[in-house]
């Protein structure tokens, strides 16, 4: 079980385009990845609806969890993605 | 008229987009709801497979439509497909199936749970619930063995009939297959009406009889007078076709500046809402922009657009029009169109609340940034820029705004007259600014105390209402006394007959959807200023809207009836 903590860099938070890019990347890992806000329940990171409903704002820390082969590398790539201002790109 | 036993009939609604069309009726089916007496799920695995298959079909259908849709509709449809395939939604549905809910009720409950989360987030997210419920409606219809609700794919040129149309439903309409639109609800300023007139599709709203007409029936629609003929006779079709030809011939008359028959100038301008609109409108024979709505830059945003971003957009719009005038309205937001970054909280009566200039005077940083960007774009282009503020009610507000605009070196400052107080006391208000523009839609809503979004009040919102004409006359008197121009940028300005009345009342420019300009130009060219003034007097002397219109048409050039 791999776990990562990362602060949302996108200035608009994790919704709209940044959320869509994140969900696509999470789906592409082929692993069941979850995302949770501090103290919140983990939700399926491959679900655009759940990720948007999470309402993670700019600067908030989220926890990513994945299990399976290549989970560490997969989470590292997702952490890298969330550390960029996706909305500005 | 040869009546076609029992089947032939004629009825009226409110014509909101002129033009004539004849074609088969396509009826937009209403969305079904999950039946309360649905059998509970006993085999959750089988039910889950069934629902997932249906959601996949819904997604495929939306993707197929997205593939052939225009730039505007494509992302809406693609987002819908993505929602239908969403694993989070599927899991929510499975939970309800395992708890024993029937398939359609499980879909409905799972969707509502997500909608509740979205609505609690507000703003952009809250608006997504419409898309999500659309997916629900499609899935529920399929599970019930019914066709998907909403606008079907039009394969042949048809006339569309519906209770009302949502923005997402009209997004995919094109003029080659949608010949006309008829709705049972809606009003003259409804979304359907505005979209239809932008696309130049004949449309009639408030035609309650239309839902009783079977799909496939041939229907003729006259969007000018609001008449609908079911199963028209060959003679009637010929008559309408001839009218259509006469209309086309009348509209072919020139692309010059707007003027009455005796040469009194009335500037014909375009209403635009985006930089895209500006590019399109600039290519048409208009004398400039009479209303540039700037809201599109601000709504659906979490943070205020930067001065640099605003400057770039305004510069692009100004450049498109060269030396033609551009009247810019500063941000018109408020409790019904809340700004995420400058929200003042919910209000009991948004239309009477802190909107327009009232919001601008509280959130001065938003107003200041916008004016700074407008001034920079003006300096970069040297365009004929005129900046006006919405919802002015008092001299103090006008003075406050004028001082800000002038301090930045912008050449002309004006105000919108939408509040009756500003119309009644326009002389005093115009002392402080260079021009005024009448927003007739809001001015009517406030004069009649009738919500313009409520279709049932359409009768009180008829722009021929003599009380509205009286209020406009007061505004024009103030303008004349101060020697300052008063224009119109509401829907009324685009009506070829009402345009004559407004000219007669003293209005010096008319701004409208660009598609309406040719008919108004032709209409003005057929009548002298003196005749327009007679029409204005006749309309004001009438006791109601219908009488006012009839009185004007009775002294108008006969060709005018072909333009309506």
Q: Does B87 lie at the interface with A, CB-CB under 8 angstroms? A: yes
DSSP state of B522: H
Specify which residues B172 forms β-bridges with. Answer: none
pLDDT at B327: 98
Quick: pLDDT tens for A14-71. 877 788 889 989 999 999 999 999 888 899 999 989 998 888 888 999 999 999 999 9
* A chain contacts of residue B91, beta-carbon cutoff 8 Å: 44, 47
Taking contacts as CB-CB distances below 8 angstroms, the residues of chain A near B82 are 48
- The per-residue pLDDT of chain B, averaged, comes to 89
At A26, which CATH number?
Answer: 3.30.1340.10
In B, minimum Cα distance to A34 occurs at B88
In this prediction, residue B3 carries a pLDDT of 35
B312 & B367 share domain: yes
B487: CATH:
3.20.20.60
* B96 and B124 part of one domain: yes
Closest residue on chain A to B84 (Cα):
A49
Name the minimum distance, in Å, from the CA of B372 to any CA of chain A. Answer: 23
Give the residue numbers of B marked as catalytic.
191, 489
Give the model's pLDDT for residue B247. Answer: 79
For residue B88, the chain A residues in CB contact (below 8 A) are 43-44, 46-50
Comparing CB atoms, the residue among A15, A48, A55 nearest residue B86 is: A48
Q: Assess whether B319 and B401 both reside in one domain.
A: yes
Question: Do residues B160 and B298 both lie within one domain?
Answer: no
With a CB cutoff of 8 Å and minimum separation 6, the contacts of B164 are: B183, B184, B185, B186, B190, B192, B455
Range name among A67-81, B153-167, B418-432, B507-521 with the lowest pLDDT average: B153-167
Give B445-480 as a DSSP string. HHHHT--TT-GGGGGGG-TT-HHHHHHHHHHHHHHH
Q: What is the pLDDT of residues B242-294, one digit of tens each?
A: 888 887 777 776 788 999 999 999 999 999 988 888 998 999 899 999 999 99
Answer yes or no: is A89 within a domain. no
DSSP state of B498: H
| Same domain? B425 vs B333 | yes
Q: A87: which chain B residues are within 8 Å (Cβ-Cβ)?
A: none
The pLDDT of residue B73 is above 90? no
Q: Do A52 and B128 touch (CB under 8 A)?
A: yes
Which chain A residue's Cα is nearest to B341? A12
Split into its structural domains, chain B has a count of 3
Q: Does B302 contact A47 at a Cβ distance shorter than 8 Å? A: no
Question: Which pLDDT value is given to residue A70?
Answer: 92
Residue B460 has pLDDT above 70, yes or no: yes
Domain co-membership, B515 together with B556: yes
Bridge partners, A61 (sequence order): A7
B121 CB neighbours in chain A (<8 A) are 53, 55
Between chains, do B89 and A55 touch, taking CB under 8 Å as contact? no
**Contact, B317 vs B278, CB < 8 A?**
yes
DSSP-derived 3-state class of residue B408: coil
Q: Across chain A, which distance is largest between two alpha carbons, in Å?
A: 33
Whether residue A62 lies inside any domain: the answer is yes
| Position with higher pLDDT, B26 vs B72 | B26
Task: Point out the least confidently predicted range of B85-94, B102-111, B178-187, B393-402.
Answer: B178-187
Q: Does residue B288 share a domain with residue B176?
A: no
B83 touches A: beta carbon within 8 Å: yes
Tell me which of B92, B109, B143 is where a domain ends: B143
Q: What tens digit of pLDDT does each residue of B188-209 get?
A: 766 678 778 777 899 999 898 8
Asked if pLDDT for residue B7 goes beyond 80, the answer is no
Statement to judge: residues B115 and B189 lie in one domain = no
Query: Inter-chain contact A44–B125, Cβ cutoff 8 Å?
Result: no
pLDDT, average across residues B400-429: 97
Which pLDDT score is estimated for B6? 41
Q: Taking a C-beta distance cutoff of 8 angstroms, is the pair B275, B253 a contact?
A: no
Tell me, what's the pLDDT at B299? 77
Q: Is some CB atom of chain A closer than 8 A to the CB atom of B45?
A: no
Name B549's bridge partners: none
Residue where a domain terminates, one of B242, B274, B300: B242
Alpha-carbon span A70 to B314, nearest angstrom: 49
Q: Is A15 a catalytic residue?
A: yes
| Token representation of residue B189 | 């300023």
Query: Is B395's pLDDT higher than 90?
Result: yes
Task: Please give the pLDDT value at position B72.
Answer: 65
Please check whether residue A49 touches B, CB under 8 A: yes
Minimum CA–CA partner of A57 in chain B: B302
Q: What pLDDT was estimated at residue A53?
A: 86
Closest residue in chain B to residue A24, using alpha carbons only? B82
pLDDT (average), residues B345-364:
89
pLDDT digits (tens, 9 = 90+) for B508-558: 999 998 888 988 999 999 999 999 999 999 999 999 999 999 999 999 998
B5 pLDDT above the threshold of 50: no
Options A15, A74, A75, A82, the catalytic residue: A15
Q: Which of B91, B125, B303 sits opposite A52 (nearest CB)?
A: B125
Minimal CA separation from A19 to chain B, in Å: 12
Mean pLDDT check: name the lowest of B92-101, B142-151, B166-175, B497-506: B166-175
In a domain, B208, yes or no: yes
**Does residue B4 register a pLDDT over 50?**
no
B89/A contact by beta carbon, under 8 A? yes
């Amino acid at each position: 079980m791999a776990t990562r903590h990362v602060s949302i860099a996108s200035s608009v938070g994790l919704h709209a385009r940044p959320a869509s890019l994140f969900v696509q990347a999470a789906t592409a890992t082929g692993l069941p990845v979850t995302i949770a806000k501090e103290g919140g329940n983990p939700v399926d990171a491959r679900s655009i609806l759940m990720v948007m409903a999470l309402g993670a704002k700019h600067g908030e820390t989220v926890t990513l969890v994945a299990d399976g082969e290549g989970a560490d590398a997969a989470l590292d790539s997702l952490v890298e993605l969330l550390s960029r201002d996706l909305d500005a790109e | 008229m040869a009546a076609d036993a029992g089947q032939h009939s004629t009825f009226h609604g409110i014509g909101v987009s002129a033009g004539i069309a004849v074609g088969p009726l396509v009826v937009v089916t209403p969305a079904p709801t999950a039946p309360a007496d649905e059998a509970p799920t006993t085999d959750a695995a089988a039910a889950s497979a069934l629902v997932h298959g249906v959601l996949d079909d819904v997604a495929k259908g939306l993707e197929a439509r997205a593939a052939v849709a225009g730039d505007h509709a494509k992302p809406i449809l693609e987002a819908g497909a993505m929602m239908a395939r969403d694993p989070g939604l599927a899991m929510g549905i499975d939970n309800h199936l395992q708890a024993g809910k029937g398939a359609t009720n499980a879909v409905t409950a799972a969707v509502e749970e997500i909608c509740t989360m979205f609505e609690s987030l507000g703003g952009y997210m809250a608006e997504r619930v419409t898309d999500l419920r659309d997916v629900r409606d499609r899935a529920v219809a399929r599970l019930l063995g019914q066709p998907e609700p909403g606008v079907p794919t039009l394969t042949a040129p048809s006339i569309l009939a519906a209770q009302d149309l949502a923005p997402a439903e009209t997004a995919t309409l094109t003029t080659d297959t949608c010949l006309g639109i008829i709705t049972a609800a809606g009003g003259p300023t409804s979304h359907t009406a505005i979209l239809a007139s932008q696309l130049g599709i004949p449309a009639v709203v408030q035609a309650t009889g239309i839902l009783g007409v079977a799909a496939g029936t041939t229907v003729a629609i006259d969007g000018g007078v609001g008449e609908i003929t079911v199963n028209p006779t060959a003679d009637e079709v010929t008559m309408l076709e001839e009218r259509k030809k006469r209309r086309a011939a009348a509209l072919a008359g020139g692309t010059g500046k707007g003027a009455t028959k005796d040469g009194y100038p009335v500037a014909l301008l375009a209403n635009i809402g985006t930089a895209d609109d500006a590019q399109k409108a600039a290519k048409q024979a208009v004398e400039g922009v009479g209303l540039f709505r700037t809201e599109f830059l601000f709504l659906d945003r979490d943070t205020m657009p930067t001065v640099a971003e605003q400057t770039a957009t305004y510069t692009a719009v100004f450049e498109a029009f060269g030396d033609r005038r551009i009247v810019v309205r500063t941000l018109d937001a408020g409790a019904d169109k809340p700004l995420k970054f400058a929200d003042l909280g919910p209000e009991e009566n948004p239309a009477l609340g802190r909107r327009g200039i009232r919001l601008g005077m509280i959130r001065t940083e938003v107003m200041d940034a916008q004016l700074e960007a407008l001034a920079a774009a003006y300096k970069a282009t040297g365009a004929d820029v005129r900046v006006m503020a919405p919802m002015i009610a008092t001299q103090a507000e006008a003075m406050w705004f004028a001082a800000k605009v002038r301090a930045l070196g912008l050449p002309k400052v004006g105000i919108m007259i939408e509040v009756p107080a500003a119309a009644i006391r326009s002389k005093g208000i115009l002392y402080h600014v260079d021009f005024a523009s009448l927003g007739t839609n809001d001015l009517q809503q406030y004069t009649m105390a009738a919500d313009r979004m409520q279709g049932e009040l359409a009768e009180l919102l008829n722009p021929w209402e003599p009380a509205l004409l009286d209020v406009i006359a007061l505004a024009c008197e103030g303008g004349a006394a101060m020697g300052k121009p008063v224009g119109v940028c509401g829907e009324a300005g685009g009506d070829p007959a009402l345009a004559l009345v407004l000219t007669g009342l003293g209005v010096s420019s008319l701004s409208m959807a660009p598609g309406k300009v040719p008919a108004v130009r032709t209409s003005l060219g057929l009548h002298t200023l003196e005749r327009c003034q007679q029409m204005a007097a006749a309309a004001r002397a009438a006791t109601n809207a219908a009488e006012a219109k009839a009185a004007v048409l009775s002294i108008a050039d006969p060709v005018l009836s072909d333009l309506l």
